[in-house]
Chains A and B, each alone.
Chain A
């Protein structure tokens, strides 16, 4: 039983009634989640990564017993989310929004007292726990414990939300975009804590995000989700190794004749449309398995056209490339046959 969260083929369709005229209605369907399966073990941070509308929040809500799935099953700490919601609730800490979810006219500490009481934590234990948590998330030093929540910055709000999720010291954490829009120090603090909670305290953490960079920083495993479907999963390294043209040759050019693109393409190279950098240079990216082998050819070509190469670098693939790969038609086909 090392698996803390198990979900099998979860589906959820939302029906929204649109009113046309006074009496006529029609229903619109959104398949938010279409057969999502995932597993999270204790001591592990799993990132659920996908663009807006991919179904991340829907999945988190189903797992936190706040939404009933249409089909499929899920369990948290061995308890079924539909049949035993109360038992699941006792074992999870949830963070569903960074900017909302507290009472504005209570201070940070009072808010935690309130929710702690709601969770049925004894008074003495609760006060100690709150003191510890406010320190842990760094709200004490930011003066958040005795300031009204409505005066909190976004970073402070997120910290308080994480503190609330930890009130019961639950073995499982479900965090929905916990760093969305945060200032860098707060985001870093939260990522650091998440990492620590999994590694040191053995918590199972499901972490959603649409930021590839941070997922790579905190997560042991990544699940890519797009339009309600899991398109790929694995460690960040595994995922990167699964995209065929994994590396990029990046050139910063001082000019860019229109026909250069087609000329490079005529050599059979996979080159992307150039972008403009902030210092007015054209940034050209060529994707290749071994970019070092084509550097000479490319440089010869630019020299013959009288173009200065200001900067040149070979980039390792990012999770973003992985993501783009798996969410475009090309990737979906291949992941489907595996």
Chain B
């Protein structure tokens, strides 16, 4: 636990950004959103003002990205800092270490990001907004948790087998997030995209949130989505473990960079 606290401490300069970021992206997405399509079209098709979608989308995107970023970048970061050999040669297991790294930052982003979600939801929904806000926060936790195995597996496999191409992570990362459909109602996606996005655990959480906001939530669809999300998350656990072993093995073969 001490490890986690000291990590949070290192990032104290980033805390300011946590507070500002959701507001910034929301503002940006609003402007961007209005530019792309008229809000009236959106309302006609979905039945809800796009602002709600945007703010929740930004929030989800941000909290998931915090975790994914941390996990995907951390090994590279440690390699460049020269801290990797000391981490590899510690008794703590590598996967466990990298999975625990984003926790403090994630908590910070969830808490601080919520400051953007709650006011907006309360303005639009009144007291009900409070409940929706709480659900959104909860689901963002689940989203991040179930996305982690997949993100780790993809990231580490790329580092292991991609050679010099590991920088492709820059492309893959936003792609993963877009495919999940944070900004657009998932049930209105084209079917090929819908299937691909269904393979991503957090997509189902996102759908739940979107349905709740659009007032289309039914107990059984919500349950099915959640079960899907969690089982997919668990399913990706084994590729994650395998990619971590392969990555460590590769490092030992070419020598951990100092």
A300 CB → nearest B CB, Å: 56
Q: Which residue of A lies closest to B13 (CB)?
A: A105
A97 in contact with B2 given A67-B252, A68-B253 (CB within 8 Å): no
Which A residues lie within 8 Å of B37 (CB)? none
Chain A interface helix/strand/loop/mixed: mixed
Chain B proximity mask over A59-79: 1 for CB below 8 Å, otherwise 0: 001001111100000000000
With an 8 Å Cβ cutoff, the count of chain B residues facing the other chain is 28
Q: Is B85 touching A118 in the complex (CB atoms < 8 A)?
A: no
Q: Is A119 touching B91 in the complex (CB atoms < 8 A)?
A: yes
Instruction: Tell me whether A181 is interfacial, beta carbon within 8 Å.
Output: no
A97 in contact with B89 given A102-B83, A105-B10, A110-B6 (CB within 8 Å): no
Docked CA distance A86–B252 (Å) = 14
Q: Is B97 touching A118 in the complex (CB atoms < 8 A)?
A: yes
Instruction: Tell me whether A152 is interfacial, beta carbon within 8 Å.
Output: no
Interface centre among B2, B3, B256 (most CB of A within 10 A): B2
B229 CB → nearest A CB, Å: 32
Instruction: Tell me whether B87 is interfacial, beta carbon within 8 Å.
Output: yes
Q: Which residue of B lies closest to A90 (CB)?
A: B91
Partner of B2, one of A65, A67, A117: A117
Q: Is A106 touching B255 in the complex (CB atoms < 8 A)?
A: no
Which A residues lie within 8 Å of B90 (CB)? 89, 115, 118-120
Chain A proximity mask over B126-168: 1 for CB below 8 Å, otherwise 0: 0000000000000000000000000000000000000100000
Instruction: Tell me whether A46 is interfacial, beta carbon within 8 Å.
Output: no
Which A residues lie within 8 Å of B163 (CB)? 17
Docked CA distance A113–B3 (Å) = 8
B248 CB → nearest A CB, Å: 10
Q: Is B10 touching A106 in the complex (CB atoms < 8 A)?
A: yes
Docked CA distance A185–B90 (Å) = 31
Q: Which residue of B lies closest to A101 (CB)?
A: B82
Q: Is A96 touching B258 in the complex (CB atoms < 8 A)?
A: yes
Q: Is B83 touching A101 in the complex (CB atoms < 8 A)?
A: yes
A146 CB → nearest B CB, Å: 13
A61 in contact with B3 given A94-B86, A118-B90, A120-B91 (CB within 8 Å): no
Which A residues lie within 8 Å of B83 (CB)? 100-103
Q: Is B86 touching A164 in the complex (CB atoms < 8 A)?
A: yes
Which B residues lie within 8 Å of A105 (CB)? 10-11, 13
B190 CB → nearest A CB, Å: 34
Q: Is B258 touching A176 in the complex (CB atoms < 8 A)?
A: yes
Q: Is B252 touching A66 in the complex (CB atoms < 8 A)?
A: yes
Docked CA distance A68–B86 (Å) = 16
A252 CB → nearest B CB, Å: 43
Q: Is B256 touching A118 in the complex (CB atoms < 8 A)?
A: no
Docked CA distance A64–B258 (Å) = 12
Which B residues lie within 8 Å of A61 (CB)? 85, 255-256, 258
A115 in contact with B86 given A57-B258, A67-B252, A101-B81 (CB within 8 Å): yes
Q: Is B10 touching A66 in the complex (CB atoms < 8 A)?
A: no
Q: Is B89 touching A94 in the complex (CB atoms < 8 A)?
A: yes
Hey, which bits of chain A sit against chain B, CB under 8 A?
14, 17, 57-58, 61, 64-68, 86, 89-90, 92, 94, 96-97, 100-106, 110, 113-115, 117-120, 123, 126, 164, 176
Hey, which bits of chain B sit against chain A, CB under 8 A?
2-3, 6-7, 9-11, 13, 81-83, 85-92, 97, 163, 251-256, 258
6 new A-B pairs (CB below 8 Å) besides A89-B89, A120-B92?
A58-B255, A66-B89, A66-B255, A94-B89, A96-B85, A117-B2
